[in-house]
């Protein structure tokens, strides 16, 4: 008796489901049961892409060049043999196009801050496949856990300006699933607000004046106190 045709299995044998432009992927379609000859047809969204005939139980191979965004999406294959009615369909494989990210932009609502103030930094890549992962740095040291954004929106961190050392150079980096595609942002510096800068300048001037007065006082004390004491000790 002729063997009943089984549902074919569609398998990825070369490449990945996350594809980049100008990449080739190869699919295999095979029914484990049925009476040869077989006809295998590959479909993308119910539209025929290619067809292969097989006279035995060997898989049909389909090579797909990814040359545009229209080449990604859901694929299925259909198996038919002489004793099947209408054929049987496989599982589906869904390809997603991944694109490189653009250089992220690091920004803040304010570029001036004073000690004791809370500020924010945001990092955003306008282009690139989601999700995108961001990491913030001050100098060469990271200052936050990784932030993975599933939507096209900026990653934001909150900073507390506690001392003058918090006015250093900040950067962020971004990457996604596109291979070897880490991008670093522009540099961003907070500057000391004018009122704090003036206060710091006044403090420095005051300390300088106090030190100068101490030096002058010490110099004046030498002929009146220190020299007589030295002579008396002789």
Q: What are the residue boundaries of the structural domains of the chain, listed by start?
A: 9-98, 105-192
212: pLDDT confidence band, cut at 50, 70 and 90?
confident
List beta partners, residue 77: 42
- Contact 106/172 with Cβ under 8 angstroms? yes
Helix (H) or strand (E) holding 227: helix 227-233
194: pLDDT confidence band, cut at 50, 70 and 90?
low
- Contact 77/10 with Cβ under 8 angstroms? yes
The encoded tokens of residue 18 equal 């996350």
Per-residue confidence (pLDDT) for residue 192, from 0 to 100 = 86
- Contact 52/40 with Cβ under 8 angstroms? yes
The angle formed by the CA atoms of residues 173, 176 and 180, to the nearest 5 degrees, is 80
Average pLDDT on 138-144 reads 92
Superfamily of domain 9-98 in CATH is Immunoglobulins (2.60.40.10)
> Do 9-98 and 105-192 agree at the fold level?
yes
15 sits in the region (left: phi over 0; alpha: psi -120 to 50; else beta) called: left
Per-residue confidence (pLDDT) for residue 134, from 0 to 100 = 98
Q: Is residue 198 over pLDDT 50? A: no
Q: Yes or no: is domain 105-192 CATH 2.60.40.10?
A: yes
């Amino acid at each position: 008796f002729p063997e009943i045709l089984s549902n074919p299995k569609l398998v990825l044998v070369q490449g990945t489901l996350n594809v980049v432009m100008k990449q080739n992927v190869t699919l295999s379609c095979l029914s484990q049961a049925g009476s040869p000859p077989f006809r295998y047809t590959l479909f993308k969204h119910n539209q025929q892409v290619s067809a292969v005939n097989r006279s035995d139980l060997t898989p049909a191979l389909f090579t797909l060049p990814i040359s545009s965004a229209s080449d990604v999406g859901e694929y299925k294959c259909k198996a038919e043999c002489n004793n099947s009615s209408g054929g049987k369909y496989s599982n589906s494989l869904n390809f997603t196009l991944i694109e490189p990210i653009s250089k992220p932009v690091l920004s803040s609502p304010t570029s001036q801050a004073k000690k004791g103030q809370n500020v924010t930094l945001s990092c955003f890549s306008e282009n690139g496949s989601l999700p995108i992962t961001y990491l913030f740095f001050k100098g060469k040291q990271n200052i936050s856990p990784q932030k993975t954004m599933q939507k096209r929106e900026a990653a934001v961190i909150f900073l507390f300006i506690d001392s003058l050392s918090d006015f250093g150079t900040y950067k962020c980096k971004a990457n996604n699933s596109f291979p070897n595609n880490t991008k670093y942002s522009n540099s961003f510096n907070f500057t000391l607000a004018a009122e704090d800068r003036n206060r710091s300048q006044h403090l420095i001037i005051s300390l300088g004046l106090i030190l100068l007065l101490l030096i002058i006082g010490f110099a004046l004390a030498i002929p009146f106190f220190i020299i007589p004491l030295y002579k008396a000790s002789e």
